[in-house]
Amino acid sequence: MERGAIVSEPTVTEQHKHANPGPLGLLGFGMTTVLLNLHNAGILELSVVIVAMGFALGGTAQIIAGVFEFKFGNTFGGTAFTAYGLFWWSLIFIWTNPTEAIPAADEKSMGFYLLLWAIFTLFMFIGTLKHNRATQVVFGTLTLLFICLSIGDFSGAEAVKTVAGWIGIVCGASAIYNAMGQVVNGEYGKKVFPL
């Protein structure tokens, strides 16, 4: 260091402010969930649009948010975003089945796949009872969505899958609201959107 240079040493009380990764994860989850469930509700055909959104925003963005949540000491957020991000990657793998040696998924295997996600989500919902109401709505509707999708695959009932689609649209929209509420409230430093 040059003689006479002025260097500001950080004090013990100064803390580095971290950005909140939650809105990115919620936005990735919410937008992808709405898009996929427009398909489940019979409004859109399954296309590369849904697959690409699932890989980029549903998968990658949530995994990034989850890693930062873990880094910042948030076990709930880290577990949720990382797990659901990997859900999207696994779902894309199931849809595209790039392996020739392994048979494609059938309704029974998809029913069990979705049932396991329903059980995981139910436990995550229990964790949200210590969180804000908006987060409870996201995980409550997501639990119902996975249950209905699982029942739809086990039973083959298209009507159940359609109902699941509408639940999923509500779920995804509630996640988008939660994400944007956190961003806008953070920008204004006050409650603009109640959560």
The model's pLDDT over 127-162, given as tens digits with 9 standing for 90+, comes to: 999 999 999 999 999 999 999 999 999 999 999 999
Tell me how far apart the alpha carbons of residues 76 and 71 are, in angstroms, rounded to a whole number.
12
Question: How far from 30 is each of 22, 81, 135, CA to CA, in Å?
Answer: 12, 11, 12
Eight-state DSSP code of residue 192: S
Mean pLDDT of 186-190: 91
Q: What is the pLDDT of residue 100?
A: 80
pLDDT at 5: 46
Mean per-residue pLDDT, 172-194: 94
Model pLDDT, residue 16:
66
Residue written as token pair 């996975």: 146
> In this predicted structure, which of 42-46, 50-54, 99-103 has the lowest mean pLDDT?
99-103
- DSSP annotation string for 14-63: --PPPP--HHHHHHHHHHHHHHHHHHHTTSS---HHHHHHIIIIIIIIHH
Average pLDDT, the chain: 92
Give the per-residue pLDDT at 10: 47
Whether residue 7 has pLDDT greater than 80 = no
